[in-house]
Amino acid sequence: MSDLAGRLLAVHARIRAAALAAGRDPDSVALVAVSKTFPAETLLDAVLAGQHVFGENYLQEALAKMVDLDRLLALRGAPAAPEWHFTGPVQGNKTRAIARHFDWVHSVDRLKIAQRLSEAREPGQAPLQVCLQVNVGDETSKGGVNPAQAEQLARAMAVLPGLRLRGLMTIPRPTDDPAAQRAQFRVLRELRDRLRTGGLALDTLSMGMSDDLESAIAEGATMVRIGRAIFGERPRAPAQ
Ligand SMILES: *Cc1c(COP(=O)(O)O)cnc(C)c1O
């Protein structure tokens, strides 16, 4: 078994243990392998080890990788069509390409961006699956709307024809304290519950990374976004 396949198995074991500890079905937690900075050859190893869902943060890098991975898969006669999730900050001038080439976007936190993604989705494509990114930490955490503004934005996104609003995403303020991790994830879950009660059909909580996936699953994560625990430490991010 390759090192990568071994790490992937270990991540599945962590997800399973965390779900069972929370009295949840392990199959209710999907794994997005966040492959930013790693080359298509590494993703091929992951596909061959059974992983089909990838998260990317940088558009140009991702587009090149999609082409390279398709070519590598075709050479192997492997029919797998990976699913691509955009997990990085969405810049206004990148919405067109993101809407066309990705299946999901986790990081929508402005109406203008949501509208542009919706308009750019091709009529022949299924609606783009999106999450609204919420800032559950404090001003030091990255991106996302403040919880008090989330409902208004979620309602506006839910009616855009090119999008399907699936749920909420967060990147919490980093902390080693499991209680503090859980408190932040709980804010997202409670917000999701309130929006559901208000009539929005949200089925996704995208939360949990390599260092805090157990806390996220305990609080109801349905998608964890895992990079380093699968691929190893990242080289420094390329400038874009
Ligand atoms: C890089 C990244 C991840 C993965 O983080 P790890 O700590 O490597 O597991 C998850 N989500 C987002 C939005 C990221 O940018």
Average pLDDT over residues 100-121: 98
CB-ligand 1 contact for 141 (6 Å cutoff): no
Of 4, 7, 14, 34, the residue with max ligand 1 atoms within 8 A of its CB, to mutate for a pocket test, comes to 34
What percent helix, strand, coil does the chain show, rounded to 5? 45, 15, 40
Q: Give me the pLDDT at residue 153, please.
A: 98
CATH number at residue 204: 3.20.20.10
Query: What average pLDDT does the structure give for the chain?
Result: 95
CB-ligand 1 contact for 65 (6 Å cutoff): no
Report how far ligand 1's centroid is from the alpha carbon of 31 (Å). 12
Please state, for a pLDDT cut of 90, what percent of the chain lies above it.
91
Q: Give me the pLDDT at residue 126, please.
A: 96
Q: Give me the pLDDT at residue 166, please.
A: 98
Q: Give me the pLDDT at residue 237, please.
A: 58
Radius of gyration, CA atoms only, the chain: 17
Does residue 188 carry a pLDDT above 80?
yes
Q: Is residue 124 part of a domain?
A: yes
Q: Is residue 237 part of a domain?
A: no
Of 224, 225, 230, 234, the residue with max ligand 1 atoms within 8 A of its CB, to mutate for a pocket test, comes to 225
| Residue 121, both tokens | 């989705």
Does residue 141 carry a pLDDT above 70?
no
Q: Can you give the pTM of this predicted structure?
A: 0.96
CB-ligand 1 contact for 210 (6 Å cutoff): yes
Instruction: Please tell me the total count of domains within the chain.
Output: 1
Sign of CA dihedral 167, 172, 175, 180: negative
* Residue at token pair 């909580």: 205
Q: Give me the pLDDT at residue 239, please.
A: 55
CB-ligand 1 contact for 34 (6 Å cutoff): yes
pLDDT tens-place string over residues 24-61: 999 999 999 999 999 999 999 999 999 999 999 999 99
- Closest CA relative to residue 38, chosen from 206, 225, 233: 233
How far is residue 152's CA from residue 145's CA, in Å, rounded to a whole number?
A: 11
Could you give the C-alpha distances from 39 to 42, 61, 86, 218, in angstroms and in order? 6, 9, 16, 32
* Residue at token pair 């999450």: 131
Roughly how many angstroms between the first and final C-alpha of the chain, as a whole number? 35
How far is residue 102's CA from residue 57's CA, in Å, rounded to a whole number?
A: 11
Q: Is residue 25 part of a domain?
A: yes
Q: Is residue 239 part of a domain?
A: no
CB-ligand 1 contact for 35 (6 Å cutoff): no
Neighbours of 16 (CB within 10 A): 16
Q: Give me the pLDDT at residue 177, please.
A: 97
Question: Looking at this protein, which amino acid is placed at residue 226?
Answer: I
Q: Give me the pLDDT at residue 176, please.
A: 96
Q: Give me the pLDDT at residue 240, please.
A: 53
| Residue 74, both tokens | 């075709």
On whether the CB atoms of residues 130 and 165 are closer than 8 A, the answer is: yes
- Closest CA relative to residue 214, chosen from 171, 173, 185: 185
* Residue at token pair 């699936």: 166
Helix, strand, or coil here: 3?
Answer: helix
Q: In sequence order, what are the residues at sequence separation of 6 or more whose Cβ sits closer than 8 angstroms to the Cβ of residue 145?
A: 109, 110, 132, 133, 134, 135, 153
Does residue 206 carry a pLDDT above 60?
yes
CB-ligand 1 contact for 163 (6 Å cutoff): no
Residue of the CA atom closest to atom 4 of ligand 1: 227
Q: Is residue 238 part of a domain?
A: no
Q: Give me the pLDDT at residue 238, please.
A: 55
Domain range for 8? 3-231
Q: Is residue 145 part of a domain?
A: yes
Q: Is residue 236 part of a domain?
A: no
Residue of the CA atom closest to atom 12 of ligand 1: 87
Q: Give me the pLDDT at residue 139, please.
A: 64
Does residue 236 carry a pLDDT above 80?
no
How far is residue 61's CA from residue 67's CA, in Å, rounded to a whole number?
A: 10
Does residue 140 carry a pLDDT above 90?
no
